[in-house]
Every structure is written in structure tokens, then in C-alpha cells.
Amino acid sequence: MLTEAAVTRYLTPLREGGSLPGLVEAADGELYVLKFSGAGQGRKTLVAETVCGLLAARLGLRVPALRALDLDPVIGLGEPDEQVQGLLKGSGGLNLGMGYLAGALGFDPLAYAVEPREAGRVLWFDALVGNVDRSWRNPNLLVHAGELWLIDHGATMIWQHNWPTAAASALRRYDARDHVLAPFAPDLASAEAELAPLVTEDLLTGILAEVPGAWLEGERGFASADEVRRAYVDALLRRADGLSARIDLPEDAPPPAGRRLGLAAARRGRPRARTPR
């Protein structure tokens, strides 16, 4: 189970994304980007963020640390913004916090080159979880301390929104033609050889065991939270089998603009600081 801590202070909303996460301080003294159970797709977004964040970490990719944060709705009473107040008041109980990466920069292919091995690992992982939100328009990648970090996995595992179609959805092709790392010659063959053997039933079962039952209970068609956990495990195992053969890359991906224009132009396109949305 994710370790828990209480939210002690709400600091500010982060308005880059539609779900309006907030920067909070927890009882452990750390800052977190809080995803609310009362926002958008609610608890399914929290499940997706948790499963994908833990899975990415187990596969050796960099993601912010995750923690279940207990929110007292009373914290929202003094918030002047009505939308933020509504989120705080409607999200009492367990929510999901992601470690705040102070000073992180939004990924920009003009200014940051990605090696084929790393590009392949990230793209293969995105194909595994069906991430439709890693395009050049919205990379959901940060550069922190000179390294690439993955954030914002709420738009993944779309089969969780229609479980009767999960088996078929797991075998769908993954369209990576618009993926932000497609121009970096991603080495999918080495990524699959390295990562696919790690995606085992034991690994996935352990990851799903960390998802709080409160986010899984009451799912239509399932008698218990454990049955829902099993459904996620089965879908991801099915998805991982022979995955690279179902990934569609652009036939002739142009190099990132930074490589075409040179370092001087890349520096002019230096990205601004941002946080997970």
C-alpha cells in the first residue's frame, strides 16, 4: 500500500492542466503535487497515476515519488477561488501526491537531446500503458538535474473505463507517430528485450496491491477490489506480449528541430520551468 500522510497546508493551484492539481505540504514536511479524487475522472485517474508511476519506477524510468495524502475538506474553507474550494471540499479522504521537483524544466526537443535507448524505453512504456498524452504539443516530460522525468499518466489504460472491452483494447496498436520522442530514433528492439521480461505477473500483482482499496471498491461488474486489481494485471500482461510489433512509428521521422537548427537556435528555445499538471 502507498505510504500515507496528511495534507497540512494547501499552497497554490497549478493551472497548466484541466484537472487543476494543487501544490500542498504534507505532515512529512515535503511538498507534493496533489491530484484530487473529486476532479475529472476522479479515482480512476488516481489509479492510472499510481499504477503507471509505480510501474515506470520498477522499469527504471524516472518518475516523482508517489504518496497517498489524506485531505481534510476543512482546508478548503478559506480558499477564495470557488473552483479550487469545490475541489478541496469534494476530495476529502485519500488523494494522490507526487513529489514536487523544484526547478524542473518542461521538456523541449529544441533544447534537450534524448538518446535512442532512453527514447525507446519511454516510448515502449507509453505503448504498454496506452498513453495518449505524450505528444510534442503536450510532452508531459520534465528535465530535472539534467535528467528526463515522466509525469502525468492520468490519460492511460483507457480500458479501465470500459472493462468488458479490456481484452480487445489490450491488443490494439499504439500510434506513436505523434509521440514527442519519435524523432529521436527510439530503439524499441532493445527496449522490449530489456523491459518486457520485467513485466511479470508477480510484479504487476505487487504494484496493484499498493493501490488503495478505496479507489477500487464499488467498480461495476466486480465483487471486490481484489477482482479489479486482477483485471488490471491481466490487461497489462496481455498488452506486454509482443508489444513492439504493434507500435506504429512515423516512416521518416524528421530530426528534432534543435538538431536541424543547431545549438544556438536550441538555446533560444530554452524551456520554462513547470510542474506536473
DSSP for 214-276, written as a single string: GGTTT-TT-SSHHHHHHHHHHHHHHHHTTGGGGEE--TTPPPPHHHHH-HHHHHHTPPPB---
Q: What is the DSSP string of 123-154?
A: HHHHHHHT----BTTB--EEEETTEEEE----
In this prediction the pTM is: 0.90
Domain boundaries, the chain: 4-99, 105-268
**Long-range pairs for 10-13: beta carbons < 8 A, 24 or more residues apart:** 10/75, 10/76, 10/79, 10/88, 13/81, 13/84
What confidence score (pLDDT) does residue 76 get?
83
Q: How many CB atoms lie within 10 A of CB 25?
A: 17
End-to-end CA, the chain: 24
pLDDT in tens, 129-180: 999 999 989 999 999 999 999 999 999 999 999 999 999 999 999 999 999 9
Percentage of the chain lying above the pLDDT 70 cut: 90
Cell of 47: 489509479
Average pLDDT, the chain: 90
Name which of 111, 226, 231 is nearest 159 in CA terms.
231
CATH code, 105-268: 1.10.1070
pLDDT band at 253 (very low <50, low <70, confident <90, very high): low
Is 253 or 152 the better-scoring residue by pLDDT? 152
What confidence score (pLDDT) does residue 254 get?
54
pLDDT higher than 70, residue 187: yes
Say if CB 53 and CB 64 are below 8 A apart: yes
Say if CB 19 and CB 154 are below 8 A apart: yes
What confidence score (pLDDT) does residue 277 get?
46
Query: In the predicted model, what is the mean pLDDT of residues 83-101?
Result: 94
Query: Nearest 5°: phi and psi at 232?
Result: -65, -45
pLDDT higher than 80, residue 101: yes
**What are the C-alpha distances in Å from 232 to residues 58, 143, 159, 227?**
16, 30, 9, 9
Say if CB 127 and CB 174 are below 8 A apart: yes
Please tell me the distance from the alpha carbon of residue 61 to that of residue 71, in angstroms, as a whole number. Answer: 29
What confidence score (pLDDT) does residue 215 get?
96
What confidence score (pLDDT) does residue 88 get?
93
- Residue type, position 14, single letter: L
Say if CB 183 and CB 251 are below 8 A apart: no
267 HSE (CA, 13 A, CB side): 3
Query: In the predicted model, what is the mean pLDDT of residues 81-98?
Result: 93
Q: Which residues contact 74 (CB under 8 A, 6 or more apart)?
A: none
Burial 148-180 (b: 16+ CB within 10 A, else e): bbbbbbbbbbbbbeebeebeebbeeebebeebb
What confidence score (pLDDT) does residue 255 get?
56
pLDDT in tens, 31-81: 999 999 998 778 999 999 999 999 999 999 999 999 999 999 999 888 888
